[in-house]
Structure 1
Amino acid sequence: MSRRVAGLAGLLLLLATQGGLANAPRNSPAPEPRPKAPVGDVLVQAIGVAAPKGLSKLFGKGPKLCGATGIEGKPIAPIKGARKGCGLKNGVEVTAVYGVPLSQPTRIDCPTARALAAWVDQAVKPLIGDTGGGLAEVQIYGHYACRTRNNQKGAKVSEHGKGRAVDIGGFTLADGTYVSVQSGWPSKAHGPALKAALKAACGPFGTVLGPRANRHHRDHFHLDTARYRSGPYCK
C-alpha cells in the first residue's frame, strides 16, 4: 500500500471514530456550473459544421430526436431511391422545431434536422420578433424527393434526393400574416428580416440559395447540408 493510500485510509478511520462521517451532511452543495461552451463549438458538435455568431446550443433536457432537443417528429423507415444516388437512410419526419410547426411533415436526415432547428430557433424567431405576434409556422416547399438539381434533365441528383435539403417558402405569423420569400424579399416591411435569415443559414447549412442565386430560387430558400464541400456556399 502506498503512503498516500495509507494516509487516506488513516484519515477516514479517524473521522469515523470521532463521528465525523456520521455527522457529515447527506447532501453536499452542488458544484458550480461549468462555463457554457462557445456557440460555434456546440453547433460543430451538433451538426458538424461551423455556425454564424449568435446561434446558441442545441442540446438540453427533455425528449430528443436526432440527439437534440426541440425537434418534434419521428424516425422513418429507410427510403430506397428510384434512381441511382437517391435514398434516405436513418431519416426522420419532422413536424415542428422548438414549438414552431412546419407546414408539412418534412423528411430529412438528422444533420439537416438539427441545422433546421438551430436556424429557426436562434435566427428566424429572433429576427421576426414580435412582428405579427411572432413566428407561428414555417412554410415548407420541399424536402426529400428523388430528383435532379432544379429538376433539370441530365443534372446530378439533388441533395433533396439524399434527404439533405429543405426548401423554405416563407413564414406564417401568429396574426395570420403570411410572409412569402417571393413577395417579402423586395418589401421594406419584411425584406430585411428575410435577408438576415438567409445570411444566418450560411454555416449551419452547407449550401444556401435564395432569390439572388438564380431564377429557380426566386420564391424560396434552398438549404442543404451537402457533405462534399470544404466550406459553405451561400448566394
Structure 2
Amino acid sequence: MRAAGALLVLLIAAGSAGAQGPRDSLRPVLRGGEAALQPVDVAPSGAIAQPARDTASDRARDRGGLFKSLRPLFRSRKVEKEARAQRRLREKGAICGDLAIQGEVVGRVPGRIKGCGIENAVRVKSVAGIPLSTGAVMDCRTAGALKSWMERSAKPAMSRKGGGLKSVKVAAHYACRTRNNRKGAKISEHGKGRAIDISGFRLQNGAEVSVLQGWNNRSYSKALRKMHKEACGPFGTVLGPNADRFHRDHFHFDTARYRSGTYCR
C-alpha cells in the first residue's frame, strides 16, 4: 500500500514536469522584466510569432530614394554652386562651360580608322557672338582656342571693314582622313577633332572676303595677315596661303603641340 502511494506521487510529478516543458529548450525566450513588458504571441502550432518587419527602407528603395542614387549624399556648397552654374549655361546654349561658345554637345565620335575620333566632341555654332557658316565638330580645347582668336584678332581686325565681322565661313572641321588627303600620310588633326579650316568672312554690309581673293587685296590684305599671324599662340599650328599649295584658299588652325613649339606659316 505504501509502495503504491509512492508510485502515484511519482506519476503526478512526471505529469506536472511534462506540462511545463523541458527547461533546456532551444527556443529563445524573453527573460526577467522583458517577458512581463513584451507579450509573446503563440500560434496554434506552438511556434512563437515573429515581430513585424519595418519595411520603410524597402519602400524608399522602391521609390528610387537615396538607396538607388549613386550621387553622394552630401556635396559642398562650392560643388553645388558650380553644378547650378553649368546647368544655367547649358540652358542658354553654352558648351564647354563658356557662354561665348554656343552649340551642342555631341559626345564620343568613333573613328572609322585607327587614330581618328573624339572622346568628348561638341558642335560649335557660334563663337564670341560670331556665327559659323556650319556647325563645326571639335573638342573643347579647340573651341576655346577659336574663341580666343575670334575675340582678340578676327573681330578687331575686321572692325573697320564693312561695319565689322558678321560671320565666318568654315571650309572643314572634323573629318577622319590623312593630312591633305594624301595616301600613306599621318592622320590629320581634323581626324582628331583638333582642327578647323576657315576660307572666308562675311561683313555686316553683306560683303564677302575670301582668303584666296583677299590675301593680296589692298583692302583686306593687312587684316587677313593680322588674323593669320595672331592665330599663332591660341593654336599650335597655323597655315595659310604662303604655307603650301594645299592652303592657298584657307587658314588651317589646329591645337596640336610639338616639342619645338608652335608652327606657323
2:120 corresponds in structure 1 to 90
1:218 corresponds in structure 2 to 248
Matched, 1:151 2:181: yes
Structure 2: distance between partners of 1:230 and 1:68: 30
The C-alpha deviation readout for 1:166-214, integer Å capped at 9, x for no partner, is 0000110011111000000011100110000000000100000000000
The C-alpha deviation readout for 1:45-81, integer Å capped at 9, x for no partner, is xxxxxxxxxxxxxxxxx83521333100011031110
Structure 2: distance between partners of 1:229 and 1:96: 32
Across the aligned residues of Structure 1 and Structure 2, the Cα RMSD in angstroms comes to 1.2
2:218 corresponds in structure 1 to 188
For residue 69 of structure 1, give the secondary structure of its aligned residue in structure 2. Answer: strand
User: Structure 1 pair 102/229, CA: closer, same or farther in 2 (3 Å)?
Assistant: farther
Which of 135, 139, 150 is 1:105 aligned to? 135
Structure 1: distance between partners of 2:99 and 2:169: 21
Alignment map for 1:1-235 (pairs within 5 Å): 63=89, 64-235=94-265
TM-score by structure 2 length? 0.64
CA apart distance, 1:228: 4.0
The C-alpha deviation readout for 1:66-110, integer Å capped at 9, x for no partner, is 133310001103111011100011010000011110000000000
- The worse-fitting range, judged by mean Cα deviation, of 152-161 and 125-134 is 125-134
Structure 1: distance between partners of 2:99 and 2:125: 13
Structure 1 portions without partners, runs of 5+: 1-61
The C-alpha deviation readout for 1:141-189, integer Å capped at 9, x for no partner, is 0000000000001000000000000000011001111100000001110
TM-score by structure 1 length? 0.72
- The worse-fitting range, judged by mean Cα deviation, of 162-171 and 219-228 is 219-228
Structure 1: distance between partners of 2:99 and 2:255: 19
Amino acid across the alignment from 1:198? H
Amino acid across the alignment from 1:65? I
Structure 1 residue runs of 4 or more that deviate by more than 4 Å after TM superposition:
none
For residue 95 of structure 2, give the secondary structure of its aligned residue in structure 1. Answer: coil
Q: Percent identity?
A: 55
User: Structure 1 pair 229/137, CA: closer, same or farther in 2 (3 Å)?
Assistant: farther
Structure 1: distance between partners of 2:113 and 2:258: 20
